[in-house]
Structure 1
Amino acid sequence: MSAVLSTSVDLLDESALVGQIVLQSEVFIHYKQARKQMESDKKAQRLIAEFAEWKDKYDEVQRFGKYHPDYKTISKQVRQIKRELDLYEPIASFKKAEKELERLLNEICAEVAGAVSPTIKVPTGNPYFDNASCGGGCGTGGSCGCG
């Protein structure tokens, strides 16, 4: 990117270029493949639907907490299904690819913010870094100790 962009149009053009680069990146391509695999896997879709049903029941039970007669049963079932969901390969692969894409986008945001000013704070989505002594993922490349 050029050091000084003369107009808003230039900025939008540069942003579109960065977007295109991301869309052609290995990280994004892997994300799309993992998402397609997960969406086309019948067991993955069944697990997701089953988890959503139990999550709704869990949310209902949470209104009363441990005093609800089905609290323990539903809480246990939600944890079991969530574990099965998280360990099922197509879903686990998708979640990993999603995290990698998120990391790439966070790095891009930090680079852009750092190019504007080293004091701009960029939320990283990571509570550890967002609550660091500098106040957040500030885009300084870790020189303040947060990254």
Structure 2
Amino acid sequence: MMTMTDLSLVHEAQDLSDLITSSQVFQSYIHVKRRVQDDRECQQKLLYFQELKEKYEEVQRFGKYHPDFRSITAEVREYKRQLDTDPLLAEFKQTEKELHELLSEISLLLANQVSPNIKVPTGNPFFDAQQSSCSGGCGSGGSCGCG
């Protein structure tokens, strides 16, 4: 059974979701994502890179002892560079990064409203450093000092 507080939180979450999806950052991400999905050349490049990654993972199981270790590793690195310099894929990565940063900021704001001790993995050292000075984490054994 939902209480009025639960219902209010659901409405606020929906409002926040609407704000995010109507933001310029989100709209740019969706626009570029569609362009990548509709671009046949980009899709072929990404499919080939996926195949290379599968070969690379197979080679990594044996490491430097695999006969194709050097050639596959070099090919993956070279092709990754080509993908990184593709203008459309670079634009997609940039918009993806901007959306990730927006969502990380929102996550931090929400977590801090509940408790300053909540850890939010952002993947961004700037945000992670702002969260806490707890070193080693609570699972590191001994007295952690978080709290």
Give TM class, smaller chain. Answer: 0.7 to 0.9
Please provide the CA RMSD for this pair.
2.2
SS in 2 for 1:124: coil
Name the residue aligned to 1:35: 33
Structure showing the higher helix proportion among its residues: 2
Task: Say if 1:113 and 1:122, in contact at 8 Å, map to a contact too.
Answer: yes
Task: Say if 2:36 and 2:43, in contact at 8 Å, map to a contact too.
Answer: yes
Question: Once structures 1 and 2 are overlaid, which stretch shifts more, 124-133 or 71-80?
Answer: 124-133
Percent identity of equivalent pairs: 44
Question: How many Å separate the matches in 2 of 1:118 and 1:63?
Answer: 42
Answering whether residue 62 of structure 2 is matched by residue 64 of structure 1, we say yes
Using the TM superposition, give the Cα deviation of residue 71 of structure 1 relative to its aligned residue in structure 2, in angstroms.
Answer: 0.4
Name the residue aligned to 2:144: none
Task: Say if 1:31 and 1:97, in contact at 8 Å, map to a contact too.
Answer: yes
Using the TM superposition, give the Cα deviation of residue 123 of structure 1 relative to its aligned residue in structure 2, in angstroms.
Answer: 1.4
Question: How many Å separate the matches in 2 of 1:30 and 1:44?
Answer: 18
Q: Which amino acid aligns with 1:10?
A: S
TM-score (normalizing by structure 1):
0.82
Name the residue aligned to 1:95: 93
Question: How many Å separate the matches in 2 of 1:135 and 1:102?
Answer: 25
Question: How many Å separate the matches in 1 of 2:15 and 2:132?
Answer: 32
Q: Which amino acid aligns with 2:79?
A: I
Q: Which amino acid aligns with 1:74?
A: I
- Tell me how many residue pairs correspond in the alignment: 132
Gaps of 5+ in 1: 1-5, 137-147
Using the TM superposition, give the Cα deviation of residue 22 of structure 1 relative to its aligned residue in structure 2, in angstroms.
Answer: 0.4
**CA shift in 2, pair 1:13/1:115, >3 Å:** same
Question: How many Å separate the matches in 2 of 1:88 and 1:127?
Answer: 27
Question: How many Å separate the matches in 2 of 1:75 and 1:100?
Answer: 30
Name the residue aligned to 1:46: 44
Task: Say if 1:61 and 1:68, in contact at 8 Å, map to a contact too.
Answer: yes
Task: Say if 1:114 and 1:120, in contact at 8 Å, map to a contact too.
Answer: yes
Q: Which amino acid aligns with 2:115?
A: S
Runs of 4+ in 1 over 3 A off after TM superposition: 130-136
Name the residue aligned to 1:83: 81
